[in-house]
A = this chain, B = another copy of it.
Amino acid sequence: MNEFELIARLTHSLPANKSVVVGPGDDCAVLDFGLPDRLLLFKTDAVVEGIHFQSDAPPEKIGHKALGRCLSDIAAMAGTPTAALVTLALPQQFNPDAVERIYAGMTALARKHDVAIVGGETTTNPGRVLLSVAVLGHVLRGKATLRSSAEAGDAIWVTGNLGGSLLSGKHLEFEPRLAEARWLTQHFSIHAMIDVSDGLAGDLRHILKASRVGAELLAASIPISRAAKEASRNRAREDEGRLPAQGGGGKSPLLAALSDGEDFELLFTGAARDAVPLLDAWKKEFPKTPLACIGKITAGEGIHLRDRDGVRPLTVHGYEHFT
């Protein structure tokens, strides 16, 4: 049983109540507490030593990542984060200075986005550090970008360059795209949005499944990170001259961009008629952040990839836990 099968089994009959607008299965839960103009966003996420970060990662970056993952999920709903709680599970022999540095990384990111850290707890977890963060935020009514709102004919966009985030260290340093997501929904008709955590193909599949549509991607339009390209080149050089590998695992750069996880970029769909004005306005507003239109939503099923040889189904999956 993999992670997604387990989640499906656990979430098929969870209790709901009248506050629930969106329950399990999107980037955040959406709750109606009776505010006239806003809905609440509620999200939790955990990072585990040896799984989401290595033991020798700089502690500040571990803290940055733990909070950043939750903020990226708030961004994927076009929301604004307000407050966070931190659960820190530590081995009995912990280093107080390293723990303070974890908090320093979290605190710096929180201040940048005006997020209050309002408590949490420390507990014991023999063997490894585990950090679980819960975030409460809000979004204007009618502006939450769900996974289930993609429509056939929509254009598909993605921010940033994808692939190789574990090699480049981006997975520990990414900036959650909060301002970008809010700007998009303020100025354009954005239908569905998700953040790229499981990998472009895997996260697009989450949108397709929730929206009951398919997608056709243009291979040449998918933005590939320098890290993914270098990893591929190093791999080729290693095969030729037997130099030591520097990572990459033999993936082509395109495959890395499609399947590597932890880029925490925005993947979204919207009215195709907006494609040109959206790209133009984006370049003026966020000149340092790439934005690419990578394909379209179709009435079919699954993902198809179009390259110079034609169109073929894409079978690659994103990263799953428990496989």
Asked whether any CB of chain B lies closer than 8 Å to the CB of A215, the reply is no
Q: Complex Cα distance A46/B123, Å?
A: 7
Asked whether any CB of chain B lies closer than 8 Å to the CB of A239, the reply is no
Q: Please give the residue numbers on chain A whose beta carbons come within 8 Å of chain B beta carbons, in ascending order.
A: 1, 3, 6-7, 9-11, 13-17, 19-20, 22-26, 28-29, 31, 33-35, 38, 40, 42-46, 48, 50-52, 82-83, 85-89, 92, 94, 96, 99-100, 103, 107, 110-111, 114-128, 130, 132, 134, 136, 138, 321-322
21 A–B contacts from the bound complex (CB under 8 Å): A15-B110, A15-B117, A17-B83, A17-B116, A19-B82, A23-B118, A23-B119, A35-B35, A42-B85, A42-B118, A44-B119, A44-B120, A44-B121, A46-B87, A46-B132, A48-B125, A51-B124, A85-B134, A122-B322, A126-B128, A136-B136
**Majority secondary structure, A binding face:** mixed
Residues of the B chain whose Cβ atoms lie less than 8 Å from the Cβ of A44: 44, 85-87, 119-121, 132, 134
A51 near B123 with CB under 8 A, answer yes
Pick from A6, A10, A48, A110 the residue with the most CB of B within 10 Å. Answer: A10
B100 near A46 with CB under 8 A, answer no
Residues of the B chain whose Cβ atoms lie less than 8 Å from the Cβ of A19: 82-83, 116
